Chains A and B, each alone.
Chain A
Amino acid sequence: MTAKTRLRLRMQVVLHMVMAFVVALLMAQLWLFTVTLEAMESREASVSIVMAALAFSALACAAVWALIRFFLRAEAQQM
């Protein structure tokens, strides 16, 4: 196995880990979106619920971009 192949396999593993995290965060964002829609349609639902959902969604979005940046930077350093 050449050094280049080893590197490619290692980056593949890192990519899979990053993808697992990103997919989990996207699922969480989808759930938060449905919670916000439910709260939007219900007059009884408190505004604090939708504000909390928005804050967590923003946090998840930032985490997704941070993970992507981490992966792309790691890839660039290895190449």
Chain B
Amino acid sequence: MPDSVRWKEDFPVPSAEDSYATRREFTKFLGLTSVAFLAGTCAAVARKLWEQVTAKATTAVAVASLDEIPAGGSKLFRYPTENDACILLRLAPEKFVAFNQNCTHLNCPVHFEAESSQLVCPCHHGFFSAEDGKAVAGPPRRGLNALTVSLRDGQVWVQHDS
């Protein structure tokens, strides 16, 4: 028996069980992959637009009284829905800032460290400036989403930027 045939007996390849992909099938798969990327992008755009619409509909709410938080203190609140955790900071007697409490890395809640004047994410040691919410160290590349804060009638009011 010639060698070219013998190896087939030693190492049989069950070609009947193999599933072959034709060029047409393979190119169709690539085309559908492209459509999937486009669909994902469409979904992300739709969500962004939806958030823009709902953010404009939100109104300012009072989240604390002026004497409720001492300078260097903080208060947690929910805005605009019960699912959106936010944090209000009093950096100076007349200076309040508020941010979304979710870390922009993996959504862990951040907490305020008055000594360093930073917001800290304990999960992966992300650090944000308490002044403007910008990411200063750690994995997060994007700053915290800030809320507009105003003081009137002895209350601290917050609102999304319209």
Using a CB–CB cutoff of 8 Å, the interface residues on chain A facing chain B are: 15, 18-19, 22, 25-26, 29-30, 32-33, 36-45, 47, 50-51, 53-54, 57-58, 60-61, 64-65, 68, 71-72, 75
Residue contacts A-B, CB under 8 angstroms, 21 given: A19-B30, A25-B34, A26-B37, A29-B37, A33-B44, A39-B44, A40-B51, A43-B51, A43-B160, A44-B145, A45-B48, A47-B48, A47-B52, A53-B45, A57-B38, A60-B37, A61-B35, A61-B37, A65-B34, A71-B23, A75-B23
Q: How many residues does chain B have at the interface if contact means C-beta atoms less than 8 Å apart? A: 28
Count of A-B contacts judged by CB separation below 8 Å: 88
| A40-B23 contact, Cβ under 8 Å, with A30-B37, A53-B41, A64-B34 | no
Min CB–CB distance A72 → chain B (angstroms):
6
Interface of A is mostly: helix
Q: Does B117 touch A at the CB level, under 8 Å? A: no
Selected from B23, B31, B41, B142, the residue in CB contact (under 8 A) with A54 is B41
Q: Does B74 touch A at the CB level, under 8 Å? A: no
